[in-house]
């Protein structure tokens, strides 16, 4: 199910990995999450990424969640299959297996365990792109220790590899960089903002193609994205400000994000638990109460007809 069209657009959320009480992957719950995304008008979703706890999954489990999502989506929604691994050989094996499973787009995070020069990163990414030449690739660069890949690097990679179609960056104050990338690539690379969609209002006017937040607020952010692109700025800001406290609080720690995200999905009737694999963040009583309060406010917002958010029925089996 591959394509060479630059057709990812809008909100492309990350689907979390649901677990049983024994911390095994809950396939039925994963199917509920796919249905929830589709019911919310989402055209494409990604897994298993950082927000899916991919770093706690075995390689076989990473492939398994993609297969389940592709099979259950059955063409109703595009699936972006994250194929991260610091070993190029393993990353290629994961990517090729995900292509065979029917993933529409392959996503890969720039390896950032240790600092590497761009020459090393170029060799890694180039060989990866060459290994799946007929499948569009989304490259993600999340570099807490410094800046993301350079504009010249991005331009060279695009010129040499036509299947490099999308780029996701997650860093503050990056509007000038996004503008420089759009100019250098003549808009041929679809740019996505990550980090929960925190910077989306700044970047939509710049020309980003979409955002990649958590699934629990994806339908709300899709509405914000549409309003902002259509020039309805006051409405976009008003709606975004309603969910900002939940997004901001949860992003203080990635493991806290897993807990808050799954708790919100529980509040929305999609998941039956908020279990994350250990080592996991164990929130104190105060944080538990505050997250519950924040999530309740999001649920109340969904019932406010003022914002015309497409209603999503509870899908918990």
The DSSP-derived string for 228-275 is HHTT-HHHHHHHHHHHHHHHHHHTTSHHHHHHHHHHHHHHTTS-S---
Choose among 279, 197, 228, 257: nearest CA to 50.
Answer: 257
Provide the phi-psi class of 204: left if phi over 0, else alpha when psi is between -120 and 50, else beta: alpha
Annotated binding residue 212: yes
User: What number of CA atoms fall less than 13 Å from residue 295's CA on the CB side?
Assistant: 20
For residues 73 and 66, give the distance between their C-alpha atoms in angstroms, rounded to a whole number.
10
Please state, in angstroms and as integers, the Cα–Cα distance from residue 66 to each residue in 33, 45, 105, 106, following that order. Answer: 13, 11, 11, 11
Q: In the block, which residue shows the tokens 């690379």?
A: 189
Going by the annotation, the residues of the binding site are 212
Going by the annotation, the residues of the binding site for pyruvate are 212
């Amino acid at each position: 199910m591959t394509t060479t069209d630059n057709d990812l657009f809008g909100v492309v959320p990350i689907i979390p990995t649901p677990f049983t009480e024994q911390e095994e992957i809950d396939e039925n719950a994963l199917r509920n999450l796919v249905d929830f995304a589709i019911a919310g008008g989402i055209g494409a979703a990604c897994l298993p990424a950082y927000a899916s706890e991919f770093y706690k999954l075995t390689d076989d489990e990473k492939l398994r969640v993609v297969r389940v999502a592709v099979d259950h989506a059955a063409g109703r929604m595009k699936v972006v299959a994250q194929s991260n691994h610091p070993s190029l050989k393993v990353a290629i094996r994961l990517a090729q297996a995900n292509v065979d499973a029917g993933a529409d787009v392959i996503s890969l995070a720039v390896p950032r365990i240790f600092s590497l020069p761009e020459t090393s990163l170029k060799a890694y990414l180039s060989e990866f792109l060459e290994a799946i030449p007929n499948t569009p690739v989304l490259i993600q660069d999340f570099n807490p220790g410094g800046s993301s890949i350079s504009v010249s690097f991005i331009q060279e990679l695009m010129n040499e590899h036509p299947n490099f179609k999308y780029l996701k960056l997650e860093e503050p104050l990056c509007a000038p960089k996004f503008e420089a990338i759009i100019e250098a690539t003549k808009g041929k690379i679809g740019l996505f903002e990550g980090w929960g969609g925190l910077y989306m209002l700044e970047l939509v006017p710049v020309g980003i193609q979409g955002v990649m937040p958590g699934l629990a607020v994806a339908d709300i952010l899709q509405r914000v994205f549409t309003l902002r692109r259509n020039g309805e700025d006051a409405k976009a800001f008003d709606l975004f400000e309603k969910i900002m406290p939940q997004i901001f609080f949860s992003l203080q720690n990635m493991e806290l994000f897993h807990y808050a995200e799954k708790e919100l999905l529980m509040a929305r009737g999609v998941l039956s638990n908020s279990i994350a694999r250990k080592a996991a963040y164990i929130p104190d009583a105060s944080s538990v109460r505050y997250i519950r309060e924040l999530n309740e406010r999001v649920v109340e917002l969904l019932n406010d007809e003022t914002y015309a958010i497409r209603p999503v029925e509870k899908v918990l089996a």
